[in-house]
Amino acid sequence: MLAQVYRRARAYFSVPSAHEEPDIIAAQYEVFSRQIPLMYSVLLINAWILVSTFFGDAPWWLTVLCPVVFTLISFKRLVGWWRGRGSQPSVEVARKNLIGTNRVALAMALFLVAWSISLYHYGNVAQQSHIAFFMAVTGVCVVICLMHLRSAAFIVWLVICSGFFVHYLSAEEASFVAMAINMPFVTMAVLLMVHVQANHFSNSVAARSRMEAVSHENLRLANTDNLTGLPNRRMFFAELGRAMRTAPEANKRVAAAVIDMDGFKSVNDLYGHAAGDEVLIEVGQRLRRVAKDKVLVSRLGGDEFAILVEDESSDAALLRLGKEMCAKLSAPFDLGDTTVTLSASIGFAVHPDVAQCPRTLYERADYAHYDCKRHRRGTAALFSKEQISEIKSSKRIETVLRSADHAMEIFPYFQPIVDVSSGRLIAFEALSRWESPELGCVAPGSFIGIAERIGLIGAITHISLKKALEAVENWPEDICLSFNLSAHEISSSDALGQIMAIVRESPIDPRRIDFEITETAVMADMMRAETSVRALRKMGCGVALDDFGTGYSSLTQLHSLALTKIKVDRSFITKIESTTASFKIVKSLLTLSKDMGLSCVVEGVESEVERAVVEQLGGTLIQGYYFSKPLTEAAALEFLQDYNFGSRELVA
């Protein structure tokens, strides 16, 4: 029992442990530091006013030496406070200073009591009353300044009140004795007030700490991707902005990179979103393992990730980092019952080389990533200054395209598809061209992607299809039309319904129409693509898978589509006679199409050598400059009339 009372009493006169209550210590130090000037000002003013009434009555060592020494010590403490103002020491240092404050408070209180009592013997009743007033008022002021440091407040008040009580209780003046008797009651009231206020202060600090902890957690959650635990888009752009603001001072380059997984959509379609989430988590872990110091890895959303590199790495070093990340992400992903193999495309942009603000830097990294995804999938690319002109050109095209009279400026061109086994022309592929009064003739590769991005592809597709069907009316009935559909038409039931309505309104037999869809469009939404293909086939149209071999569709997915034809991408045909890999790929694709009962059109044949190799491999349907470039409607009609259907020697 006594030990418990002792521990509790000791707690009132000691500073809390830094380990148990670090927030309380930090708050006590902060508040007490602000009170130091006021406390010492009160002490010095009251002390010098008191001693001024004793000049000539008390010895010089009491009226001069003691107050001067006290003043010097006080000024030393004030100088120390001035030098350390505004700083926030560690909890350990703050606790050490607070313990020192308790000791200074004890020494100061003992000095004031001893000095005051020493002066008492040299004064008259009025001067002795002034001493009582000084001790009471000064003590109260000091206690108020030390209110939040309960131990120091208790020490000062108990020392002053004990000296006051003992000395004035033995005084001959009745009023002094009465004050001494009243002092214990005042002491209890003051100590109780200090205790209550100290508890309120502690509770307030604890509540603030809890609120800060909740705030920090909310901030962490707001800046963290829930699935991967990586920083999210918000955090990425905040850090990117910070890095770019501080880069000039440190003379550093800041690089941003955009990363996404090629073919990731197929994982969700084939194995479900849970499997897709597993892949994304593993992607984040692999990127973090590759990331070096000062490399921030973030998930922006979906399968899109970003990295922030804050060092002076050269372009070559950035590309090496990108290559290493691509290599790690190309390793198989284990999904339990199966494994999937994907690849990643990465685009880098560097500040201050190509961008001066975070948004522009990100957009240019995204542009490099998009360009890489189109032309060099599974690799890393760096945005170059030359691409700035490409972006300006794209923006110019976008501006003109938005205000263009599409019905008057969009036309289909037609490229022949020939059956080399019989020498017969069997079809034309319709390719959209834009005849702009401002820009001249714009190739589809320059404006189709922009039209998709800004939502005009639907209108352009409708115009091209209607004009192409009108051209077919002038062709022999055995000549078919091949027409490209965008991902927009394949992934939207409404958009596909409009395409089908145009076909129904045309006098052309749907069986003469083959709609071409790309692997990219199919992989964007496999289930929707299957539905769209079935709807087109039910209407009687054929469906061809364009650019086959460049995407990430599996044989299982290919088989699930009700296709009638596949088209081998021209990238496999270039220099096929000298490229063993291309030779084998084309041979395999021709065999695959035959085994699956599908027609196979080989695109991009430009020379006699390429035509001979394709024919040697068993390819019969050929399209390319070897026969003709894309033709206007009138030129296509002339080609039909002039073509010798029994000969394979004509090259337009």
- Tens of pLDDT along 213-271? 777 766 677 788 889 989 999 999 999 999 899 888 878 889 999 998 887 877 887 78
Query: Under CATH, which number does the domain 233-384 receive?
Result: 3.30.70.270
Quick check: 644 pLDDT over 60? no
Of 8-12, 36-40, 197-201, where does the model show the most confidence?
36-40
**pLDDT for the residue 115:** 87
Over residues 186-212, the mean pLDDT reads 76
The Cα 91–Cα 86 span in angstroms is 15
Distance in angstroms (rounded) separating the CA atoms of residues 206 and 221: 22
Lowest mean pLDDT among 336-350, 355-369, 412-426, 517-531: 517-531
Tell me if residue 337 falls in helix, strand or coil.
coil
Mean pLDDT for 144-167 is 80
> Looking at the predicted structure, is the pLDDT value of residue 203 above 80?
no
CATH 3.20.20.450 is held by the domain 403-642:
yes
Among 485, 478, 533, CA closest to 509 = 478
Q: What is the pLDDT of residues 449-492, one digit of tens each?
A: 888 888 899 999 999 999 999 999 999 999 999 999 988 888 88
Amino acid sitting at position 459 = A
| pLDDT for the residue numbered 652 | 38
For the chain, give the mean pLDDT. Answer: 84
Task: Provide CATH 3.20.20.450 ranges for the chain.
Answer: 403-642
* pLDDT tens, position by position, 284-336: 999 999 987 778 999 998 899 999 998 766 888 889 999 999 999 989 998 88
Residues 6+ apart with CB under 8 A from 399: none
Whole-number pLDDT of residue 5: 55
Report the pLDDT value the prediction gives residue 551, as an integer from 0 to 100.
55
Residue percentage of the chain with pLDDT more than 70: 93
> Given this model, what pLDDT does residue 562 score?
84
Active site (catalytic) residues = 303
Task: Give dist(CA 146, CA 160) in Å, integer.
Answer: 14
Label residue 557 by pLDDT band (50, 70, 90). Answer: low
* pLDDT for res 10: 67
What residues does CATH 3.30.70.270 cover in the chain? 233-384
Distance between CA 532 and CA 534 in Å, rounded? 5
pLDDT of residue 649: 45
Alpha-carbon distance 447 to 400, whole Å? 10
* pLDDT at position 482: 95
The Cα–Cα gap between 418 and 180 comes to: 121
pLDDT in tens, 39-79: 888 888 888 998 888 888 889 888 889 889 888 988 888 88
pTM, rounded to two decimals: 0.59
Q: Quick one: pLDDT at residue 650?
A: 42
- DSSP of 127-170: HHHHHHHHHHHHHHHHHHHTTTSHHHHHHHHHHHHHHHHHHHHT
Q: How far is CA 182 from the centre of its chain?
A: 68
3-state secondary structure of 615: helix
Q: To which H or E segment does residue 281 belong? A: helix 273-290
In the structure, what pLDDT confidence band is assigned to residue 647 with cuts at 50, 70 and 90? Answer: very low
Which residues in 533-626 belong to E strands, given as ranges?
A: 542-548, 565-568, 599-602, 621-623
Report how far apart, in Å, the C-alpha atoms of 467 and of each of 151, 500, 504, 652 are: 92, 15, 14, 23
Provide the 3-class DSSP secondary structure of residue 112.
Answer: helix
